[in-house]
Structure 1
């Protein structure tokens, strides 16, 4: 049965009570011995510098007014085989409270169990609630929770039907458990939420910090907006900015609350962290330029000598004598390497023995490399790549390159610099 076939009107929910919290009206409902209500955590666009959505979160208290975690509430519901009913109850509660929140344009992010998406009665209840509350489906982001689905094809079909009705789809906790690249292709979400654990690892590990921007780029190229959740410190906020994430969510920007966010405070917070990011990025660029300066001078002199007719082996010594210079090599106009790599230090040769099959690069084609393409497209000027993984030793490096005339031929002189200790964020 399709969603359209189940689209019918339900009456307003029974048993909901109105309570006042800090002067704000909100709904609560009794479920057994628990009192359930909603809070909303704001989701911010870093570019717009304001909240663009709110995630509905369940809050529960027992008969003695003690806090019960939402995880325990849903865990008990799963134990009793009642998880879909609890899922539907929580959604209804969030919708009611979102309506009285008073926001006019922002999204409501609703956590949805995968099985609830494929259940026709659950879909009907959601659609009926939206009609009753006069909330258009375009304002609802259905967050597919990170759990295994028994019938992934059926889930994907249900997700497609919801999207056709105007809902947005978010994939929750990407990078943890079942939420991986394959699930992106299967469910085709509009928004991908990166799991908090990825940001935590990136904040403490240089290798993960290097991966995160590339992952965001990959998701953007796949046509997905990216939300980084769990941002709790300014360092993590800076990382989200550096990654070019679209949206952020976390305690640093806004805690869960019964009410809407203070727009002025949010704009000031994002503006200040953005300004500090800009200052730090400029400082990093200055340090990078200072670090590269002696290499550039030596490399420019090597290119001049090469164009004057000296051999590659003769012109590279000053460049290779610098501490982190790795190798020099020469390419023809088609990107093919002429001769072997020129390496100065004995310790460099010893390091390359682990990658012995790659040492002889004579005749290799570097046509695909940015350092070759940039040099050919803008000759007689030294180009500097972004740090990347060198195939020679599987270590980060930066390559300098310049296209110049050597006799009657155009050649591209290249020089690699080890970049293992580059500063990140």
Structure 2
């Protein structure tokens, strides 16, 4: 052991050892017959294209050097009523190993049991460790583990106090178990980590793939940064980019490791995925543009005929004859619908009977809809919405709209298109 390693061992907490593997110092500790140590999984910012943090993860081996699952370690600790002591031991290990990791500006994401936050002694021990290691609380993201807190009010108060000291707070495993929207309002985290199960569902189900970007947008509107964990494939990485997540974590970008992330590899990986995402997005936009072209031509012609004085029921037939055209309708300058929806096909009318209470839209007010506001703000040109859920049948649709003069009145002609991503 070198003099420097002897000095590190001398100042290490009682019961900790310093081992050197491939030139890298690493602290370990004994817990019964188990040897515990840390690895760190990098957390990347997709925009910065580099690691901005590391999550400390426990690794355990038995007396025969066989790996033991961390779940088993904590499960046995819970059975023996020792979970808070093991949680504290893991925190201390991660802090010691993070200090020798060499990270100068990145965060350490530290999993903490709610009881470790509400217990004054354990909270004081965490602060003492940071002071001893000369680590600012601003470098630490406390991940509140997904489980019910026996005293939620105490947890909320403890989280507030830690935040006032400079810590960041992350809500872990959002979308699973107790981590739901209510917990966001209760704990007011800085970062929300989406549980891997949500990404896995989105990768295999079209409806979930549509929901994920909206969920990220909702969290952003609530003032929370979003981290998607468990990214393991190129497809999942593309989904994380597509839903505008702030941070990613997972095997695709970087595996847990005793050392720091390979910065050059990370930049190359994220850059290549971003380039492919851009190419795929541009190709999809071109396909959608081609797909919309016949609808736009028919709709523009319908608007011209409407402005020339022909009745709505006559001008829309060419548009409605296209395969996925759903309906046409006319709004006045205040967004109020004049007349009923114009529907061409009998199968469309039969399908709409499932939503019969919504079928008669005469007199409805669509003032809030983006297609109305866009048309009024820029008249005499056709506007195309992003896909959204139509109230008529609870199906995705795209709406074309144009504000034009019909006699002495300004009207907005609208046409809906069923929109299933191809």
Listed as ranges, the matches of 1:83-94 within 5 Å are: 83-94=83-94
Listed as ranges, the matches of 1:181-260 within 5 Å are: 181-260=181-260
Q: Distance in 2 between matches of 1:406 and 1:338?
A: 12
Q: Deviations over 1:41-77 (max 9, x none)?
A: 0000000000000000000000011000000000000
TM score, norm. by length of structure 1: 0.96
Is residue 2:19 matched to residue 1:19? yes
Q: Deviations over 1:334-386 (max 9, x none)?
A: 00000000000011011011111111100000001010010001100100011
1:304 is displaced (CA, Å) by: 0.4
Q: Distance in 2 between matches of 1:73 and 1:177?
A: 21
- Look up the SS of the partner of 2:227 in the other structure: strand
Q: Distance in 2 between matches of 1:156 and 1:410?
A: 54
Is the Cα contact below 8 Å between 1:110 and 1:142 reproduced in 2? yes
Please identify runs of 4+ aligned residues in structure 1 that moved more than 3 A.
none
Q: Distance in 2 between matches of 1:113 and 1:182?
A: 19
1:12 is displaced (CA, Å) by: 4.9
Is the Cα contact below 8 Å between 1:12 and 1:129 reproduced in 2? no
Give the corresponding residue for 1:135: 135
Listed as ranges, the matches of 1:46-65 within 5 Å are: 46-65=46-65
1:20 is displaced (CA, Å) by: 1.5
Q: Distance in 1 between matches of 2:177 and 2:291?
A: 41
Q: Deviations over 1:193-234 (max 9, x none)?
A: 000000000000000000000000000000000000000001
Give the corresponding residue for 2:151: 151
- Look up the SS of the partner of 2:411 in the other structure: strand
Q: Distance in 2 between matches of 1:151 and 1:27?
A: 34
Q: Distance in 1 between matches of 2:56 and 2:237?
A: 22
TM score, norm. by length of structure 2: 0.97
Alpha-carbon RMSD across the aligned residues, in angstroms, is 0.7
Q: Deviations over 1:8-39 (max 9, x none)?
A: xxx85111111122221100011110000000
Give the corresponding residue for 1:164: 164
- Look up the SS of the partner of 1:74 in the other structure: helix
Is the Cα contact below 8 Å between 1:173 and 1:193 reproduced in 2? yes
Give the corresponding residue for 2:263: 263
How many residue pairs align between the two structures?
412
Q: Distance in 2 between matches of 1:35 and 1:246?
A: 35
Q: Distance in 1 between matches of 2:125 and 2:69?
A: 25
Q: Distance in 1 between matches of 2:171 and 2:345?
A: 50
Q: Distance in 1 between matches of 2:86 and 2:49?
A: 35
Give the corresponding residue for 1:303: 303
Listed as ranges, the matches of 1:323-402 within 5 Å are: 323-402=323-402
Listed as ranges, the matches of 1:70-149 within 5 Å are: 70-149=70-149
Is the Cα contact below 8 Å between 1:12 and 1:132 reproduced in 2? no
Higher RCO structure, 1 or 2 (CA under 8 Å, sep 6+): 1
Q: Distance in 2 between matches of 1:207 and 1:22?
A: 47
Q: Distance in 2 between matches of 1:415 and 1:203?
A: 32
- Look up the SS of the partner of 2:337 in the other structure: coil
Give the corresponding residue for 2:421: 422
Give the corresponding residue for 2:312: 312
Give the corresponding residue for 1:5: none
